[in-house]
Structures are given as C-alpha cells and as structure tokens.
C-alpha cells in the first residue's frame, strides 16, 4: 500500500476514534434521502429539514405526489431550503426521471449495475457528482464514495491531494485505500463532514481537531 492510501486509512481511524458511528444520513425513506440530497445543495442542513417537514405535512414526500404537484406548490414547500425556484426545477427533473424511467421506483434504479445507475442519475439536469453519489450511497446503500467540499479541504490540508484534482480522481484514491463497503463509506463521509464543520472550516480551528492530536503525523 502506498503512502497516500496509508494516510487515507489513518485519517479515518483518527476521526472514528473521536466521533464513532455518526449514523448519517437522517431520512425515513430512500426517496426522502434523495430529495434531501437535492435540497441541501448550497444551504445548511437545518434549512433542508424545515423544507422536508413542510413536504411531509403537505403529503408531497412521495414520487407520485410530487409528480402531480404544481411548480408553485413545490416552490412554496421548499422555500426554507433557499434557491427554491432552481431547486424546484431540479426536483421536478429528478421526479420525471424516476417516474418515466423507473415507474416511480427508486429500488428499480438501485438494482441497476452501479455504473449504469450513476450514469443515469447524472443525466438528470441539475444533479452533479456529489448529489448523485449521495443518492446512491445513502439511498441505495451502494458502495460509492462521496467527495464533498470538506473532503477536498481536509485532504489538501493534510497534503494528500493538491490543486483542482477532478472528482473522479479523488474517488479513486478511496477506492484503492479502502474495502468496497457502503457502511464504511457512509461513516467516513460523515466523519469528514463532522470534522470539517467542527474544525476544518475556511479558517481552520485546529485546536482539539482529531487530525491534529499529539503524536499524529498525518499533516
């Protein structure tokens, strides 16, 4: 195993020792999880939770219900998540994709070969790599590693990557370093998010960070 892969494993061990199993992503159904992944783009999770509560209250947390809902109705429901017109359009694109391609069944989508399912989701206008992989990993329990802004920042600050490395290249690092396991990938991604929010912000707060503890030679 190369030095890069060893560092990836070490980061995981240090964060897991601090935070344990974070049991992320919170959702009652795979569809709710997918909706949350689309709504959480460029906003705080607390705002997404407000929008999800409204969607549930209005009976819109099902593919068929959102498929039949009007544009204005969806916009009003998801307004707390911000950029509600853009996100309403993305949601409607995703619902159209699920309804017309899979009869409203996410399970049918997740039963596709992983590469095919990922390609299909990425064909939906407004859905990029991170959102697609969140849906596959957390909604479908499929072993694909999610690379987000916190992941990039932590890897850069610990000299594991540099520059504007493409999303797929960063994913490949994790594929080489870790067993292909959805449960492992879920918690590792959640650990990046937690560490990023607590310590590895745009202005680093290294004091008390699990990756800057005494004896840690990762950095």
Domain check: are 91 and 10 in the same one? Answer: no
Domain check: are 19 and 38 in the same one? Answer: no
What CATH number is associated with residue 180?
Answer: 1.10.1670.10
Domain check: are 94 and 45 in the same one? Answer: yes
Q: What is the pLDDT of residue 219?
A: 45
Range of the structural domain that residue 205 is part of = 3-23+146-212
* Cα 40–chain centre separation: 9
Rounded-to-integer distance, Cα 208 and Cα 198, Å: 9
Domain check: are 40 and 135 in the same one? Answer: yes
Domain check: are 186 and 151 in the same one? Answer: yes
**Number of structural domains found in the chain:** 2
Domain check: are 17 and 58 in the same one? Answer: no
Structure tokens at 71: 């544009």
pLDDT in tens, the chain (219 residues): 688 999 999 999 999 999 999 999 999 999 999 999 999 999 999 999 999 999 999 999 999 999 999 999 999 999 999 999 999 999 999 999 999 999 999 999 999 999 999 999 999 999 999 999 999 999 999 999 999 999 999 999 999 998 889 999 999 999 999 999 999 999 999 999 999 999 999 999 999 999 975 444 444
Domain check: are 38 and 134 in the same one? Answer: yes
Rounded-to-integer distance, Cα 160 and Cα 130, Å: 20
Q: What is the pLDDT of residue 1?
A: 60
């Amino acid at each position: 195993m190369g030095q890069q892969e060893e560092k990836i494993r070490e980061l995981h061990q240090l964060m897991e020792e601090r935070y344990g199993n974070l049991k992320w992503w919170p959702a009652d159904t795979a569809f709710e999880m997918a909706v949350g992944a689309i709504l959480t783009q460029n906003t705080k999770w607390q705002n997404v939770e407000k929008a999800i509560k409204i969607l549930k209250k209005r009976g819109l947390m099902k593919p068929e219900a959102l498929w039949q809902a009007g544009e204005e109705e969806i916009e009003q429901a998801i307004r707390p998540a911000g950029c509600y017109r853009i996100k309403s359009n993305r949601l409607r694109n995703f619902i159209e994709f699920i309804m017309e391609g899979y009869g409203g069944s996410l399970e049918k989508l997740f039963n596709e070969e992983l590469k095919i399912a990922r390609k299909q989701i990425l064909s939906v206008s407004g859905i990029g790599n991170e959102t697609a992989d969140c849906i596959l990993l957390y909604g479908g329990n499929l072993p694909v590693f999610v690379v987000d802004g916190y992941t990039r920042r932590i890897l850069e600050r610990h000299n594991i990557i540099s520059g504007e490395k493409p999303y797929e290249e960063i994913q490949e690092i994790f594929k080489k370093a870790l067993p292909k396991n959805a449960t492992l990938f879920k918690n590792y991604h959640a650990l990046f998010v937690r560490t990023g929010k607590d310590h590895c912000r745009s202005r680093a707060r290294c004091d008390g960070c699990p990756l800057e503890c005494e004896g840690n030679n990762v950095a």
